[in-house]
Structure 1
Amino acid sequence: MEHNPQLTSSEVAAMWGAYMQNSMAHCIVQHFAKVNEDTSMTEIINDTLSNTKFVVDQVKSIFEKDQHALPIGFTQEDINSKAGRVYSDLFALRYIKYMASAGTVASAAFLEVLARNDVRELFSKTSAIFMKLYNDSCDLLLKKGTFVRSPTIPPMEKAEYLQDESFLSSLIGRHRPLTAVELAHISKNTETNSIGRTFLAGFSQTAQSQEVRKFMERGTEIAAKHETVFRRILIQDGVPLPTTWDSAISQSIDPPFSDKLMMFQTNSLSAISVGGYGTAIGASLRKDLGGHYTRLVTEILQYANDGIKIMINNRWMEQPPQNVDREALRNRRN
């Protein structure tokens, strides 16, 4: 007998999220392609557009085959083709690198809970194409001398076991030097806030809604504050500060993207930050670092929650696929 299993909740969740993220990224990179003046980036931009379209088309094909409603996602209605440049070409390249990294991680993470062969093939392919895109963008950034490297530390002289619990430090007072793992997470979270701060600064001057503009201004301030916290930790530890992700933003107030798209991108960045901080808490043995991350993640969660309220109130928030409400069905019979 031929076995045709239905999509599981994990498979639906993976594809629904992939459709939303890639339809959004496709719109953003279309604008970058339109204003791009750096010919060395042309191939990477075209590859990005091809990759995001591949994911959207494949999810659409599987959903239609299984008679599953397709998400609205993001379309040409969310792009203003007449808008001029807001961000630099270098920022566009860094965004592609960041997006490719997030796509690779998300695709690989979902593979563990995917059963159907066609869905596993999709996410295996997605992971591979975005990993290649990530490496290509890294190579170009290195060639341009603009890759943002994490701090360096002296080589370890010998391996040894910990002798006592003082390695954990305390919430206040003198702290032992940062480990390479802790430095890696601080660097990654600084990068996330830097790219978010630049993105939101551009959003804040181009958003059409005053409510959205204020939300973006608040997000820019939060990102700058979190960057300052992480950089202060590095300074106190005597670690050389990495270069920043700062990129020039034009004076244009003509929005290249819809307010709906900008809000979704902002909430996606918030979700990535929450995930990054959570991972860092588990990997940081210094108690003061855990205290910082716990405090900062609470602030991001509140900000993200306020963003969701704005999206719901403006009918911009799509309802994710969910289980049947049995109680509501029973009430309809009464």
Structure 2
Amino acid sequence: MEHSSKLTSSEIGVLWNAYMQNTMTECILNHFQKINEDKILEPILKNGLSTISFIINGVRQLLLTENIPIPYGFSEDDYNADAPRIYSDLFTLRYIKYMSAIGTANCAASLELSARVDVRQFFTKGLELLTSLFNAASDLLLQKGAYIRSPVIPIPEKNEYVKEESFLSGVLGRHRPVTSVELSHISKALETNSIGRTFILGFAQVARSSEVKNYMERGKEIAKKHEDVFREILLNDDIPLPSTWDSTIAPSVIPPFSDKLMMFHVNILNATSIANYGASTAGSLRKDLGLTYSRLMSEVLNYADDGTKMMIKNKWLEQPPQAPDRVALRS
């Protein structure tokens, strides 16, 4: 017997998130394509927009099949097609690499939460397309000599087991050098904060609302502070610092995106940072590193909470589908 099950709450949730994030990214990539001057980058931009279009249309079809309202998301009303550039073409390439990495992680997580065959097939295809986009962006960065690699450490001569509890290190005093696993998390944190800081710097420059400008300025300072924390960890272990992900910001003050879209994007950056810090805490055996991640995560959580309140106040926060309020129904 064939059984056509309804979408579960998890499936509706991951589809809703995919629609919101990809309609936002479509606006940004449309702007990047409009101002792009690098002919080598053009195929990757087209690939990115094609991938995003597949995801948006796929989500829309799955929701329509179940008579579930399509989210408002983001549209042409949220970006100005005539706005001049703020970011460089090289930053566009780095942005595509970064966002496609987030997309592959989201698709993998969504696949795990999906039961229906058609939903799993959809996220499997999305994962395939986003992985291809990530690899294409990475290849071009390598070709341009602009791929920022994590620090290199000497190759160990042999494998060893941990012999003493001092390997965990304390909160104070001398610490053992970071392991390659811990170093990978630190490098990821540096990349996330550097890209986020550059993006937010542009947002602060073009935001229409003074409230949004101030929020972006605060985010820029937080990202800079976090970068300094991670650089100091590397310097204390005499590990060479990686090159910066910084990009030139053009002097334009004409906003290519709506304040609503920019606030939503910062919300995604905050969520990504919090998730990364959580994974980094779990992957770091040095106690001082775990405490550092917890402290920085708390700061991002407070910043994200203030941003969410601002979005609610301005009616920019779209509500996801939710379970019935049984208490309200009984009253």
Fold agreement, TM-score > 0.5: yes
TM range (shorter): over 0.9
Cα offset for 1:2? 3.1
**Which moved further from structure 2: 189-198 or 105-114?**
105-114
Map 1:41-120 onto structure 2 (within 5 A).
Answer: 41-120=41-120
Give unmatched runs, 5+ long, in structure 2: none
Pairwise mapping of residues 317-332 of structure 1 onto structure 2 (< 5 A)?
317-331=317-331
Query: How many residues align structurally?
Result: 331
The code of the aligned residue for 1:127 comes to: L
Using the TM superposition, give the Cα deviation of residue 112 of structure 1 relative to its aligned residue in structure 2, in angstroms: 1.5
Q: Distance in 2 between matches of 1:173 and 1:32?
A: 48
- State how far apart, in whole Å, the 2-side matches of 1:68 and 1:120 are: 18
Aligned to 2:138: 138
Answer yes or no: is 1:299 the counterpart of 2:307.
no
Residue of structure 1 in register with 2:33 after alignment:
33
Residue of structure 2 in register with 1:150 after alignment: 150
- Give the letter for the 1:71 counterpart: P
Deviation, structure 1 residue 330? 1.4
Which one-letter code corresponds to 1:308 in the other structure? T
Q: Does 1:218 align with 2:218?
A: yes
Aligned-partner Cα distance in 1 for 2:156–2:114: 41
Aligned equivalent of 2:263: 263
Deviation at residue 3 of structure 1 after TM alignment: 1.2
Q: TM-score, normalised by structure 2?
A: 0.99
Q: Tell whether 2:276 aligns with 1:276.
A: yes
State the shift of 1:219 in Å.
0.2
Q: Which amino acid aligns with 1:11?
A: E
**1:170 deviation in Å?**
0.5
Deviations 1:32-60 (Å, cap 9, x if unpaired)? 00000000000000010011111000000
Q: Which amino acid aligns with 1:284?
A: S
1:121-270 residue pairs with structure 2 within 5 A? 121-270=121-270
Q: Percent identity?
A: 55
> Distance in 2 between the 1:317 and 1:283 partners?
33
In structure 1, the residue matched to 2:287 is 287
Q: Distance in 1 between matches of 2:285 and 2:315?
A: 43
Task: Report the residue type matching 1:235 in the other structure.
Answer: L
Say which SS state the counterpart of residue 14 (structure 2) adopts: helix
Q: Partners in 1 of 2:310 and 2:300 — Cα distance?
A: 15
Shift in Å at residue 252 of structure 1? 0.3
CA distance in 2 between counterparts of 1:111 and 1:63 reads 16
SS at match of 1:49: helix
Distance in structure 1 (CA, Å) of the matches to 2:282 and 2:110: 21
1:65 Cα deviation after fit: 0.7
Report the Cα distance in structure 1 between the residues aligned to 2:234 and 2:126, rounded to whole angstroms.
36
Q: 1:277 deviation in Å?
A: 0.1
* 4+ long deviations beyond 3 Å: none
C-alpha deviation, 1:110, in angstroms: 1.9
**Is 1:2 equivalent to 2:5 in the alignment?**
no
